[in-house]
A and B are shown apart, each in its own frame.
Chain A
Amino acid sequence: MIAWTIYLTFGGAVLLLVLPRALARWIALVATIAGLALGSVAFVATPIADLTQFRTIVLAPWVPALGMNYHLALDGVSLTMLLVTGISAVSTVLFSWDVEHRQNEFFFWLLLVVAGCYGVFLSADLFLLFVFYELVIVPKYFLIAIFGSTNKEYGAMKLTLYSFFGGMFVFVGILVAYVSGGSLDLNQLSQFEFSPQLQSWAFPVLFLGFVVLAGIWPLHTWAPTGHAAAPTAGSMLLAGIVMKLGSYAGLRVAMNLFPQGFEMWSKWIAVLAVIGIVYAAAVALRQRDLKFVIGYSSVSHMGFALLGLATANALGVSGAVLQMFSHGVIAALLFAVAGRMIYRRTHTRQLDALSGMNLSHAMPFAAFAFVVAAAASMGIPGFSGFAAEITILIGAWKTYPVAVWIAGAGIVLVAAFTLRALKLSFFGEKRAQDEVTKDTAVNRKEFNPITIPEKIGACMLMLTTFAVGVYPKLLLDRIMPAVETMRFLK
């Protein structure tokens, strides 16, 4: 049944092409809600015992002569990723409610990205996974190149070329796995013993190819420019789900297939991850464009996910999966506030300009949402970011104690740039009292109020990060058992 997330989303995209414009956003909303509902039902209804193995749900021959199957499977990790995809997708549609420019086309590309992501998270066949993985690139390009802002062609191009560049390595890695393992089926391949010598070079090829998309340092430079150029919906999807494709596939494919290669290289991944955490946070501290700040914060947060993967113990890896979920929600919220609530109304994202506008008075709801998002992003207890990062750090403590200390410094930097952005954007310097009241009065009139869809979308994201922050067990119960059965754990 969960396979219908893919079909319904694709179906919605096709409908958008034929039905008139007036229905466009409703179709997109229905399709994404359907996806989220299916994910939630599966989340509630599937017994936890069934989520420990990557269990087949659909298996049909595709090109039988060549061993390609249409093979979908589900375990706790992919279910978690499906859920965050659903949540990001619904909120993205809500935050795109007033898109006017070429509406059908906009939602068409948007649904294609979402459908492709569902496909990657469910694929149990390497070929199929690669098809979906590459399929996400094109709609992403168009979302940015057509509907983006700041330097959109450059951003779209850079992102696409980085994706293809990573895809090239992935392609070679898949061929290696197929040629030596004799199968494309992930479950069969993860039983196969590849020779250590092969693993030692095949693992980095495959893993690096995937995590280009997760923004691993130093291959992260596409992320800030891409995020800044993308329309709000694009940034939300990009940070919310697409970046997770890289870390998810790195875990599901590279680490599972080549455990010994992973063992050889894991400390280097940890090094890159830690550099990414600290470096991106430091750079974010100096940015003037709010979207660039958030773009770099995404790189920093994904660094935590990669560090979690590199720990190679159940706790750290589960924390990484939780971080993927958590960051998906938080980044979506941050971009929604920055791109939709602020930029659409003030037409600027420059922190210097925003600091004079006293936005906390003009847009109290936006200010509230941003404070929550910032708190979650900083890792304040009670929000999902904390639950994820603490799990990662505890996991990392066992393997790389030094990394924990450096990453801890990174957390301080994250807090610093988040507070700076928060202060400058919403709580700028107070001016003379009369000037402020005058300004505010003007602002209140000038800025359209926050709309209902925007409020629903923001509340949904806030509630999710809060719920997971308070009760992370909800997800960890499903993630941990699935991670524990994976092969790279000793």
Chain B
Amino acid sequence: MKRILIVDDKATSRELLHTVLERQGYAVSEAANGQEALEKVRAESPDLVLLDLQMPILNGYEVLGELRNDAAYATLPVIALTASAMQGDREKALAAGFTGYLAKPVALSHLREEIQRLLGPGNAANAGAIS
């Protein structure tokens, strides 16, 4: 089963994403800050990281920088997730090396499509009622 690491300092946001993606048939784990994110990436080698940009300690850009500096994670799909909606945010994120960009609030259909585009469909047995 494809593994996704959700990194967000807000527990409710993690729970939302976790619920949606688990139902889609992915194995999901969570990290509440950038430091924890780096540890979990190294320990669990996920197939994709959903990374919130604004976090205390290490922000999303710093986490991405650390990952991209490591040859093992140079091509790991990392999707930026942010509630900031200023003009140019998306371009900035993609230029920094993010694989994708999702703005909060993210429509669930859009989230599912984006993940599926990068990872392929989740495990059907676990996908439940999701078509």
Q: Do A and B come from one complex?
A: no
Q: Give me the interface of B with A, judged by CB distance under 8 Å.
A: none
